[in-house]
Chains A and B, each alone.
Chain A
């Protein structure tokens, strides 16, 4: 899974600041999925994107959160005006085509800490 690159690995933000998490999928992968893991919890689906399209964002909070996957560059998960409850590990995964988890890989995650 080293092929899916997430950065930064660790991010500390003060309450009210913005957090930008980046995910570069594996080469040849055009589908990206973001999941969030709160402390002591399992991963929870946030959003599914294809190049320039949001397919399903039903797992993202309606406010303050947004995601994009532009034609060029990494996928970005943006959290505005962060609060302590946003502290979590954020993982992205990518797959070459339609969701096929046997061919999908997760990145190492970004650990967001809100102080």
Chain B
């Protein structure tokens, strides 16, 4: 049972345009969501997070939107740059599943973003 789904395995955009990466989840107990970026042969790097009490969080070129009723979140990258080309993972935590904490993240399968110059 995949609780975090990234239905687009890949996405290609032109440099300077907006990249929108989507993520759906099924567990209504998830209360904290994160996006990670991963280059080949490297570990995931934290990008941005959002708590379920918010519907938007912004950090520079990156904005995460959360729609709790639809169990959907998205990551917007504006403007996209060639260096943004990587695999992006959506992750979520359910505090009830980790003793009230959030160490146990559930990841999606990732979306490969390619930004073309």
**Interface of A toward B, CB cutoff 8 Å:** 1, 4, 6, 9, 31, 33, 35, 40-45, 48, 55-56, 58-59, 91, 93, 98-99, 101-102, 104-109
Residue numbers in A under 8 Å from B109 (CB-CB): 40-42
- A27 CB, min distance to chain B CBs, angstroms: 17
A98 touches B101 (CB 8 A): yes
Contact A109 B46, CB 8 Å, known A41-B109, A42-B109, A98-B101: no
A101 touches B45 (CB 8 A): no
- A2 CB, min distance to chain B CBs, angstroms: 9
A91 touches B110 (CB 8 A): no
Chain A CB within 8 A of B43 CB? yes
- A3 CB, min distance to chain B CBs, angstroms: 11
- A21 CB, min distance to chain B CBs, angstroms: 13
| Chain B interface SS verdict (over half) | loop
- A72 CB, min distance to chain B CBs, angstroms: 23
Chain A CB within 8 A of B49 CB? yes
Contact A101 B99, CB 8 Å, known A42-B107, A43-B44, A91-B44: no
B46 touches A101 (CB 8 A): yes
A109 touches B43 (CB 8 A): yes
Q: Give per-residue flags for B31-55: 1 if the beta carbon is below 8 A from chain A beta carbons, else 0.
A: 0001000000111111001000000
For the complex of A and B, list the 8 residue pairs with the smallest distance between their C-beta atoms, beginning with the closest.
A42-B107, A106-B43, A99-B103, A43-B107, A45-B104, A42-B109, A48-B103, A106-B44
